[in-house]
Amino acid sequence: MAKRVILIVLFGFLVLSSKAQQQEIMIVTTVEYMDFLDGGASRMYVNYPSGTTEEFELKGLWSIGRYISEKKVKANDRILMNKINELLKSGWKIIAVSSSTQPKSGSDNTSPSSILTRYILTR
């Protein structure tokens, strides 16, 4: 009886480990630059398991008058959600989301502030 239990546990472990090895990982990253002079050159990058990367242009966040544009934020959200929904429908699952901000850098503050959000998906 004990041998059967050990064999069943061992078989279960082997099945689970083989499934984990077959797991695919995809990373979707948005980089939104906050440069009020040109509105920023925000982008979304989708890194596929095959090693290819797809790039999508996003709207710069600033409007005239140095205010963050609600319309541009909504447009960027729409682009991101369309891509995420497309991936979810094709079997991907979001397992983690992280975000960070980067203040202006450099001695002359020429590098714009940015917001980076990374979505890690698996299937």
Those residues of the chain that have pLDDT short of 50 are none
- Residue 81's pLDDT is 96
Q: What are the CA-CA distances from residue 61 to residues 34, 58, 75, 80 (Å)?
A: 6, 9, 10, 14
pLDDT tens digits along 37-52: 555 678 999 999 999 9
Half-sphere exposure of 75 (CA within 13 A, CB side): 15
- Residue 28's pLDDT is 97
This prediction has a pTM of 0.73
- Residue 32's pLDDT is 83
- Residue 70's pLDDT is 87
- Residue 62's pLDDT is 72
In DSSP terms, 122 is beta-bridged to 25, 93
Q: DSSP string covering 33-96, please?
A: EE-TTT----EEEEE-TTS-EEEEE---SEETTTEE-HHHHHHHHHHHHHHHHHHHHTT-EEEE
- Residue 88's pLDDT is 97
The letter for the amino acid at 1 is M
- Residue 53's pLDDT is 96
